[in-house]
Amino acid sequence: MTDPAPGSGGGGWRRAGRALATRNYRIYTTGNAVSLIGTWVQRIAVGWLAWRLTRSGAWLGLVSFADLFPTVLLSPLAGAIADRRDRLAVIRLTQVTAMAQAVLLALLTALGWITIEMLFVLTALLGAANAINQPARLATIPSLVDRADLPAAVAINSLIFNGARFVGPAVAGALIAAGSVELAFAVNAASYGAFLVALWRLDLREDRPPPAAGSRRMLGAVADGYLYAVRHEGIGAMLLMMAVTSLCTRGFVELLPGFADAVFGRGADGLAILTATVGLGAVVGGLWMARRAELAGLTRLVVAAVLLTSAALVAFAATDRFALALPCLFAAGFGMIVTGVAAQTLVQATVDAAMRGRIMALYGMIFRGGPALGALVMGTASDSTGLRAPVAAGAVLCTGFWIWAKLREKRIAAALEHEPDPA
């Protein structure tokens, strides 16, 4: 039997299988999958608890802001740390911190002591831990697989994340419906334990940062990373594209508790269905991306997915019928995952190894900080306009940016789409 032609589905699946056959990547992915399910259980529970305590779209946006915006403040420092310190040790420390936060949240909720202010502070604590964790985590992925298998590895990681987005809300919905919000937090704490076990089993001695990384002062190292991104025609443009889409479209996920209750009248069960539908669309998108075996064409996919996501969200905001909203959310989830996987793959495959931690910190800052700021703006506006108008406005703005990206598509692709050497 002959090998599949380049770009065929068979070649993509073969590389995905080869990535999972690698010991370190398999262990990491297994532990990460368990942890991410717990993360989504807690995210849904936090959103529902914030809505139950306040019934305010503004507070939904503020709690989301507390979770995601610390990335904007801490990512520059975190990226420099990821390029100068043992990345695995950084990941372990932040996971222990996150586990402690989940335990404390479970106890306060069970005792009836939780307030919206406490929830905000604890969510900000978790956001800070995640901000330090994310650059080290993203920069570690290329050390787990061969470079030729990197597109498949990034797609699998995103597939795991969005599979958790599908499973986690279903678990959270069942727990919340049973009146056990605190149990949702406890489940998340246990999931961190599973990931810590996996992290301790990894052997990444080859992933130490280069000795020269420590010779520069921290602020100088951060500035070097920013200048590198700005001057690189492909990486700079891709990060700008991610910034606009994150700010204008991704924040709608944080407002789904309000949509479930105030727009569709479906309560916690409806919230679980809405969030799981976004996750299901992302899972399908992740599976579709995992079968790709090459970098060529990824820039075109990013640009097309931006338009798909924007159009889907305009349609979602235009309806108050639950059955019509679900396919819109499915399409939005599909578009978001294609954008995220393709963009991260292109950046990871192109960036200089010595800059990887700082550039992935910048990527993470955009990916997490953009939705936080978007959710805050949309949530605050929703108290005056309702939830639907701000979501539609963000999607329309993103559609305008799509025109800019489409006009520059070929130049961006030329700077980013270089195939790795055959394994």
Q: Does residue 70 register a pLDDT over 70?
A: yes
Range of the domain at 304: 10-416
How do residues 359-394 score in pLDDT, each as one tens digit?
887 887 887 778 878 888 888 888 888 889 999 999
Structure tokens at 297: 């064409």
- Asked if residue 94 is part of any domain, the answer here is yes
Q: Are 71 and 364 in contact (CB under 8 A)?
A: yes
Residue 418: the pLDDT is 63
Please provide the distance, in angstroms rounded to a whole number, between the alpha carbons at the two ends of the chain. 20
- Going by pLDDT thresholds of 50, 70 and 90, the confidence category of residue 164 is confident
Instruction: HSE, CB side, 13 Å, CA atoms: give it for residue 134.
Output: 26
Pairwise CA distance, residues 414 & 189, whole Å: 44
pLDDT tens readout for residues 261-288: 889 988 878 888 898 898 888 888 878 8
Whole-number pLDDT of residue 421: 45
Per-residue pLDDT tens for 4-42? 333 444 555 676 777 787 888 899 999 999 999 999 899
Is 4 inside any structural domain? no
Confirm whether 422 is domain-assigned. Answer: no
Judged against a pLDDT cut of 60, whether residue 209 lies above it is answered with: no
- Nearest 5 degrees, angle CA 228-CA 234-CA 238? 95
Lowest mean pLDDT among 128-142, 160-174, 338-352: 160-174
Residue 204 lies in a domain: yes
Nearest to 195 by CA among 278, 102, 66: 102
Q: Is residue 1 part of a domain?
A: no
The number of distinct structural domains making up the chain is 1
Q: Is residue 65 part of a domain?
A: yes
Q: Is residue 310 part of a domain?
A: yes
Determine what percent of the chain is predicted with pLDDT higher than 70.
90
* pLDDT given for residue 423 in this prediction: 40
Give domain status of residue 205, yes or no.
yes
The answer on pLDDT for 81 being more than 90 is no
Counting every residue, how long is the chain? Answer: 423
Tens digits of residue pLDDT in 107-128: 999 999 999 999 999 999 999 9
CATH of the domain at 129: 1.20.1250.20
pLDDT band at 162 (very low <50, low <70, confident <90, very high): low
Longest distance between any two alpha carbons in the chain, whole Å: 65
- Rounded CA-CA distance 221/214 in Å is 9
